[in-house]
Amino acid sequence: MKELKLTVEKREGTGKGVNRQLRMAGDVPAIVYGPETDPILVKINFKKLYRLMHGVPLNTIINLDIEGDEGDDRKVIIRELQKDPVSGDLLHIDFHNIAMDKPITMTIPIKTEGLPEGVKTFGGIVQHVRRDIDISCLPMHIPDEIIVNIEALNVGDSIHVSDLDLENVEILTGLQSTLITVVAPTVIKEPTVEVEEGEEGEEGEEGEEGEAKEGAEGEAKAEGEAKAEGGDKKDKDKKDKGKK
């Protein structure tokens, strides 16, 4: 496993005001602690820390050189990064002092590779139930991440913690815990409009009334036309008699 080298300075004073001044000056307040170690307050230049840690897993072992501290570099890992929930600015770092001959508990991220058969063939959806697991191992055996191949998964298949094969590592997360599963795609049905029997009856009645009305109007029109024709015929007869 790759190890990094980082030099830090001791700092004095605690509290929000002191830490705010440190951050305004370009430093990040931090603390070094661990078993059989008294807590040490330190500060790190943010730009130097960013250049060192950019793209590097947080569980990487760091050889920490504390200026003014006698003895060899301390081997530490980053236990916690405190960030501002709004701006995302780095507020504080917790370094955990470790011993290379003693197991340490870590949370390791789960990463996947490959396209599942259930997604490729049947349009399934990959669901990540857990994205990390807890392990215990010696510092030299800490994995950066755990890679899981999911190409063989079909719809309804899952990968559990018990399916992982890790060397020199004790898994602390429950073995029956599900990590990844492939589920069937969601089918959206179009809403259907149901017409009640009463509404159909009313429409039928309206139709019948409309037809009856149209029939009555037709009869009245025919009767009017017949009268008009009769009147025209009488007028014609009278004219013919007058001519004679």
Q: Is residue 212 part of a domain?
A: yes
Residues 6+ apart with CB under 8 A from 128: 110, 112, 179, 180
Statement to judge: residues 34 and 84 lie in one domain: yes
- What secondary structure letter does DSSP report for 161? G
Nearest to 167 by CA among 203, 142, 197, 132: 142
Based on the fold, state whether residues 120 and 157 are members of the same structural domain: yes
Q: Does 157 have pLDDT greater than 50?
A: yes
Instruction: Please determine, for residue 231, whether its predicted confidence score (pLDDT) is greater than 90.
Output: no
**Tens digit of pLDDT for each residue in 45-69?**
999 998 988 888 888 999 999 988 8
Q: Do 83 and 42 sit in the same domain of this protein?
A: yes
Render pLDDT for 167-182 as a digit per residue (tens, 0 to 9): 999 999 999 999 999 9
Q: For residue 233, what are the CA distances in angstroms to 31, 66, 153?
A: 121, 129, 95
Measuring CA to CA, how many Å separate 20 from each of 23, 31, 49, 82, 89? 5, 15, 18, 14, 12
Of 53, 81, 98, the domain-final residue: 98
Q: For position 244, what pLDDT does the model report?
A: 47
Let me know whether 21 and 48 are in one domain: yes
Residues 93 and 15 in one domain: yes
Q: Which domain holds residue 203?
A: 196-244
Domain count, the chain: 3
